[in-house]
Amino acid sequence: MWTVITAIVTLIIGIVIGFAGGVFYLRKQMEKMQSDPQALQKMAKQMGYNLNSKQMQMAQQMMNKKKHK
């Protein structure tokens, strides 16, 4: 019985730590993209969008506003 409880608790802890690590990694990647317009453009193309220079500036400004909150 203790084996089952330990397995369930370990699974829950692993999921929480994995989620927190994923969020941390994603935030770091987004911060890198703010200073690299080519990376932002590449991400947009992968999502099916083709951004012009004005849209790129707007996206960077939006990301900077979220960073400073």
pLDDT digit string, tens, across residues 24-55: 998 888 777 776 777 778 877 888 888 788 88
Residue 48 Ramachandran class (φ > 0 left, ψ -120 to 50 alpha, else beta): left
pLDDT at position 69, please?
Answer: 56
Residue-wise DSSP of 9-66:
HHHHHHHHHHHHHHHHHHHHHHHHHHH-HHHHHHHHHHTT----HHHHHHHHHHHHHH
Higher pLDDT, 4 or 57: 4
pLDDT at position 58, please?
Answer: 82
Domain residue spans in the chain? Answer: 2-67
**pLDDT (average), residues 4-25:** 96
Does residue 16 carry a pLDDT above 90? yes
